[in-house]
Structure 1
Amino acid sequence: MSMVEKEIVSLVFYKDEYKVMLLNYSLSKEQQRFTALPIDALQKCEAEPDRHPIVIMYGIQPAGFFVLHGWEGVKAFHNNNNAILLRAYSINAEYQGKGIASQSIKLLSSFVKEHFPNINEIILAVNHANVVAQNVYKKGGFVNRGINAMGREGEMYIYHLDV
């Protein structure tokens, strides 16, 4: 892989051709407390058409994953029916530490504008103990407006990003 190709981070809708690589996806036990493995999130996407699986590409390799969940996901946290919920966000362990998370979050707003033109806000719930993720989201422009919710691992902050 060339140096230029290696540096390109992009967001693409999930395709079946990525499934094998996502089956070999790994996260630390600590990270698994806070997010779903892609293969588990994909099962929910298949059952709920309002969930859109997205793959974070690093060059030509799937390096990360998340789901954009429509109103059914948003309404538990926010009353803006033109918002979309970012969930199940992660970077595969072997790709962590390369700046892929920061780059992918910066691409998020334009990706949503292009593919979900009626959406004016992206929200997410991040566990209060997940400081690493909070820092990535804040660097990417997400803001904590003081709204909290309870999750399976305790208190979560609701972050917002205007699109």
Structure 2
Amino acid sequence: MELYRYHPKFDEFIQNYYLPDEQLHYSATPKKSIEVSKEDKDRHPVLGIDNNELVVFFILHENDGVRPYSGRENAVLLRSFSTNYKHQGQGYAKQSLQQLPDFMRVHLPHIDTIVLAVNVNNTAAQSLYKKSGYIDEGVRVEGAKGELIVMNYYL
């Protein structure tokens, strides 16, 4: 699997990406996220592609996007993180998180912290983030769908 910045050449992959309704509670679809990012240049869509299929998707959101979660000047918010339903449980989410620091050094070298906010009820995601080196420093914020745990990865 490799991480790529979004390009319209990947649109067919995005059309074939599926998340069940219960997962859409925690994450937006890639299609919707990309549409929003076209209007907001601080949002950088990232695609994890393996064997010519989109397996992981997320947004890296700078500036105003990360400010509600971190006061760090050179931080980015990891948001809308998901794994294509038919590829869940195959290690792609973990693999993408492991590759992300190197991806950041190439594509967003000014960033020194990756921040994410995960719903307190999404224990599977919390476990994945902890195993991937994200640190829960006790910061909590109220989100649209309940309390969120703010976690940081220092590059």
TM-score, length-normalised on structure 2? Answer: 0.96
Specify which of 37, 40, 43 is matched with residue 45 of structure 1.
37
C-alpha distance in structure 2 between counterparts of 1:47 and 1:38, whole Å: 15
4+ residue stretches of structure 1 with deviation over 4 A?
none
> What's the counterpart of residue 132 of structure 2?
140
Secondary structure at the counterpart of residue 32 of structure 2: helix
Specify which of 28, 33, 40 is matched with residue 25 of structure 2.
33
Secondary structure at the counterpart of residue 149 of structure 1: strand
C-alpha distance in structure 2 between counterparts of 1:80 and 1:44, whole Å: 24
Count of residues in correspondence between the two structures: 155
> What's the counterpart of residue 92 of structure 1?
84
Q: Is contact 1:150–1:156 with CA below 8 Å preserved after alignment?
A: yes
- Structure 1 stretches of 5 or more lacking a match? 1-8
Two-structure CA RMSD over aligned residues (Å): 0.9
C-alpha distance in structure 1 between counterparts of 2:98 and 2:60, whole Å: 15
Secondary structure at the counterpart of residue 2 of structure 2: strand
C-alpha distance in structure 2 between counterparts of 1:157 and 1:86, whole Å: 13
- Aligned-residue offset at 1:59: 3.0
Q: Is contact 1:74–1:81 with CA below 8 Å preserved after alignment?
A: no
TM-score, length-normalised on structure 1? Answer: 0.92
C-alpha distance in structure 1 between counterparts of 2:50 and 2:119, whole Å: 26
Please state if 1:117 is matched with 2:104.
no
Cα deviation digits, residues 11-44 of structure 1 (max 9, x gap): 1111112112212211122211000000010111
